Amino acid sequence: MRCRVIGAPVQDGASQLGCEMGPSALRTAGLITALAELGHDVSDRGTVIPPQPRSIRHGNRALKALPEIVAWTVALSAAAYEVSEGAMPIFLGGDHSLSAGTLAGIARRAAEAGRPLFVLWLDAHPDFHTLDTTASGNLHGVPLAYASGQPGFECFPALAARVEPERICVFGARSVDPAERAALTAQGVTVHDMRAIDEHGAAPLLRDFIARVEAGDGMLHVSLDVDFLDPEVAPAVGTTVPGGATLREAHLVMEMLSDSGLVTSLDIVELNPFLDERGRTAKLLVDLTASLMGRRIMDRPTRSY
Ligand code: MG
Ligand code: MG
């Protein structure tokens, strides 16, 4: 497969600094080599640079770095649209606000291709706040609401196409604010929280969603937030929530997605190398990406660290 890797070192959407170093850590942990070893035609398209932010006023005084995140969204939307032509983009974050841009660009690409776009949101949080409902004001909590066309994003770039809420599956949630819960339910977003994963297992829930994508001849964007994983295995994130996906649950999700052959774009977000332990979270993310891109346990030589 043709893979295009793009760095998106956004950190203004998170409360803690450090995600700016995420793309470097993922490259250092061997992401490009791992993809090449799997036989993919991979090229590193470098790092997106946002335009100069313009001042923006908003009634919610809690909002942080709104001009900066809007500037990133403009740049990343254009980059995602451009790089997704005939290739699978892999966006290296950066905090999760980057997905406002990547989803906007990919949704435009899917609309032009006449195909429905589905989104699998692997995250402890649904990131479904609007600019009016967020109390923390951290804009990594809003990208899914923006990209699915929720109201109140007039100061963000207008969407060429939105992601239909019924085509979104939030998977692994365990921290959902009341305003988000109400909006997710009203909009018909599928949410498989950790309780559902405990009760039914990750596989049947994911299989159902994959079947929907396949039946609709859809494109599938996967957005992987580090906090989808349990902090015991992935400590390098500023928003840890206990009780996340285990190492094997996360690999199983990636392996099933690989088998499906349906994934057309990927975000890897919220890696904060400043909080990591000797790069172990970055290495884990490279291994998960390799599973998504076709690495099989039976093919895998033992690695010595
Ligand atoms: Mg997130
Ligand atoms: Mg999260």
HEC string for the chain: CEEEEEEECCCCCCCCCCHHHHHHHHHHCCHHHHHHHCCCEEEEEEECCCCCCCCCCCCCCCCCCHHHHHHHHHHHHHHHHHHCCCCEEEEEECCCCHHHHHHHHHHHHHHHHCCCEEEEEECCCCCCCCCCCCCCCCHHHCHHHHHCCCCCCCCCCCCCCCCCHHHEEEEEECCCCHHHHHHHHHHCCEEEEHHHHHHHCHHHHHHHHHHHHHHCCCEEEEEEEHHHECCCCCCCCCCCCCCCECHHHHHHHHHHHHHHCCEEEEEEECCCHHHCCCCHHHHHHHHHHHHHCCCCHHHCCCCCC
- Which ligand places an atom closest to the C-alpha of 144? 1
Query: What are the C-alpha distances in Å from 39 to residues 31, 32, 33, 261, 268?
Result: 13, 11, 10, 15, 21
Ligand with the closest atom to the CA of 175: 2
17-29, pLDDT tens digit by residue?
999 999 999 999 9
Q: How far is the CA of 304 from the centre of ligand 1 (A)?
A: 32
pTM attached to this predicted model: 0.97
pLDDT band at 297 (very low <50, low <70, confident <90, very high): confident
CA of 96 to the centre of ligand 2 (A): 8
How far away, in angstroms, is 300 Cα from ligand 1 center? Answer: 30
Task: Identify the structural domains of the chain with CATH numbers, from first to last.
Answer: 2-299 (3.40.800.10)
Ligand nearest to the CA of 141: 1
Tens digits of per-residue pLDDT, 8-57?
Answer: 999 999 999 999 999 999 999 999 999 999 999 999 999 999 999 999 99
Question: Tell me: the pLDDT tens digits for 192-218?
Answer: 999 999 999 999 999 999 999 999 999
pLDDT for res 304: 61
**Ligand 1 mean position to 39 CA, how many Å?**
30
- Mean pLDDT score, 108-119: 98
**Span from the CA of 301 to the centroid of ligand 2 (angstroms):** 32
Q: Which residues are catalytic?
A: 96, 123, 125, 127, 140, 225, 227, 270
Given this model, what pLDDT does residue 302 score?
A: 64
Locate 114 and state its tokens. Answer: 């006449």
Interval 142-158 mean pLDDT: 98
